[in-house]
Structure 1
Amino acid sequence: MTQGRSLRLFLVDGTPHGLLTAEIMNWTGHVLTGPRGKLSELVQRPECGRTGIYFLVGPDEENSLRPQVYIGESDDVGKRLKQHNRTEEQGGKDFWEKVCLVTSKDQNLTKAHVKYLESLLIQQAKALGRCTLTNGTNHEYINLPEADQADMAFFLEQIRTVLPVLGFEFLRDASRPRSRDTLTGSEGDAGSDASPIFRMEVPKYGITAHGQEVEGEFFVLEGSKARAEWSQASHSYKRLYEQLGEEAVLVDDGAGLLTFARDYAFSSPSAAAAIVVGRAANGRTAWKAEDSGQTYAEWQEQLVAEAAEASPEAL
């Protein structure tokens, strides 16, 4: 089972849409985020005078499924944010609506550290493809001692852990966290956090797809088939279907269907089923466990019932 972590959130002005700080126990990092409308208050915070990494986040007018993101670094983050708050004509950036900055509580982050972090973050954001980056060129920065690189690798993992909690999903990995053999439990009990393998079939189109739930996300597995075109006039998943084709997650198999070129995470089994069949679908009944024949809904109900029986209150 994945080890739990303690995350401390603080609403600076007592409102859910104002400034927010976040810290992870035993991590020297400190995260501060807020809307652009609160920038005048944010830049007065002591964190803004430190060396750190920052993210400017806003909507992408050309792709409603992705945010637009700029990743930067500075030894005086507040000064840089003031510059970014100018209009485009004045050298600023108009697109962003939220800002998130990461500094260090012990103030041991140096200019070299944040340049290295910025380079890694830009590389990962590009590789994951969950946002539209507005950064121009990315200069790979490797001029850092080996020990410091290891420290920054740990620092980076903490950033990727805390950002999704704050609503920033663009650094969240969409690939499964373990190998297929491990996930299905063939290596000891390492697969205890994973569901059985589910199968979905659409005989009319010759479609067979496999999926698995891991750590709260439903993954359609590499090699699964999907319908070659979206058949419903308008639906919220239509744009996602098109995007997966644009990103080469879904590729032509040469036989009239599409194939998942890699494992891909969906928010629910119904979202996964819709992409497979090319229209809205109830994934809770469409996916069936290969070993027992249970639907996803039946499997989940069984888990809940077993957990209730095993709880101390049930004894």
Structure 2
Amino acid sequence: MRRNNKITKSIRVTVFGDISNAIRVYDSIDSIFEVYWVPYGKLAEFRHMMNPSNKKHESLYFLIGDTNDMGLVETYIGQSNDTISRLKNHDSITKFDWRLAICAVPAKHLGKECLKSLEKIAIEKARPNCVLINEYENKSYKPHPTSDCDAKILLSNVADYLTLAGYPILNEVEKGANLLYIYQNGEIFAEGEYLIDRLVVFKGSRVRLDNVDSMTKNNRDLKERLIKNGILAPYGDFYIFTKDYAFSSPSAAACVILGQNISGWVAWKDKDSTTLKDLFKFE
């Protein structure tokens, strides 16, 4: 698997005030967007900065909330042709305790059609990487093919800014050539890929329904959280992953999948049955 998170362009960051709780502005000569990082308590300052003459600013925006116990950040993704008013009224529109707004404001007018395309594609890209507060919104909208294509190009700029800001929720996750598997009875039971700092299990991978008695409490609790949050769903004699999910280690993933305490470095193997441990030549 490859994560599209390499930023090659030069991005300038301007900080307004105390760096620990300041409005920040990200911009680049290679992008039509300026991206504003706005802590919740800085909305009035942001409004004054952007709106001295009551000018409206359109944007694609991301409201960032808490990080849950699985390491996924709560996120609301929206678009507006009047960003200031939208953020000001957001508390009455959706019951979401957000901490930070990240607003991608274009230097030129994009229009409602393009903004809706950006919003829809952003929601689809972010779904595996965060807890979407508005996951089921914008379902019926079908972008015009031209605006859809343009939006994908524009969104790649926004993804770079978000990654630099510490929220890589729009990063692409693609299956690469170095896939790993967990086998049961000679068949592929689960599929994923190791990314150095995590192991991503792919959508459709199977999970044992039951757990052995000796399975640790931490692993049991993790499995229960995945079930509670809909990441694991019943499927006949198994659970299955309803979307790609990144585990903090190969062993955490293997323990949840097999319902027992096991080293992921041994359980995960490539297509030639070489263990992950041997692939990395650990002593």
Q: TM-score, normalised by structure 2?
A: 0.70
Q: Paired residue for 1:227, among 208, 216, 221? A: 208
Equivalence map 1:129-208=2 (5 Å): 130-134=130-134, 138=138, 140-141=140-141, 147-168=146-167, 170-172=169-171, 176-178=173-175, 183-184=176-177, 195=178, 197-200=179-182
Residue number in structure 2 paired with 1:76: 82
CA drift at 1:99 = 0.9
Residue number in structure 2 paired with 1:189: none
CA drift at 1:143 = 7.2
Distance 1:164 1:239 in 2: 26
1:110 lines up with 2:111 in the alignment: yes
Equivalence map 1:224-263=2 (5 Å): 224-230=205-211, 232=215, 234-235=217-218, 238-239=221-222, 242-244=225-227, 247=230, 249=232, 251-254=234-237, 257-259=238-240
Quickly say closer, same or farther: Cα 1:236–1:199, change in 2 above 3 A: closer
CA contact (8 A) 2:182 2:191 kept: yes
SS at match of 2:280: helix
Pairwise CA RMSD of aligned residues?
A: 4.2
Quickly say closer, same or farther: Cα 1:237–1:158, change in 2 above 3 A: farther
Q: Given residue 117 of structure 1, which amino acid in structure 2 is its aligned partner?
A: L
**5+ residue gaps in structure 2?**
none
Distance 1:81 1:112 in 2: 20
Distance 2:121 2:188 in 1: 39
CA drift at 1:30 = 2.0
Q: Paired residue for 1:40, among 40, 44, 53? A: 44
Higher Cα radius of gyration: 1
Distance 2:196 2:134 in 1: 31
Quickly say closer, same or farther: Cα 1:147–1:22, change in 2 above 3 A: same
Deviates more, 1:39-48 or 1:75-84: 39-48
CA contact (8 A) 1:130 1:171 kept: no
| Superimposed CA distance per residue, residues 76-127 of structure 1 (whole angstroms, 9 cap, x where no aligned partner) | 3122222235xx4xx67551111111111x32323443234234434555x6
SS at match of 2:218: coil
Q: Which has the higher strand share?
A: 2
CA drift at 1:38 = 2.5
Identity %: 24
Q: TM-score, normalised by structure 1?
A: 0.65
Distance 1:222 1:148 in 2: 29
1:26 lines up with 2:30 in the alignment: yes
SS at match of 1:159: helix
Deviates more, 1:258-267 or 1:147-156: 258-267
Quickly say closer, same or farther: Cα 1:273–1:168, change in 2 above 3 A: same
Distance 1:136 1:239 in 2: 25
More RCO (CA 8 Å, sep 6+): 2
Residue number in structure 1 paired with 2:19: 15
Count matched residues: 271
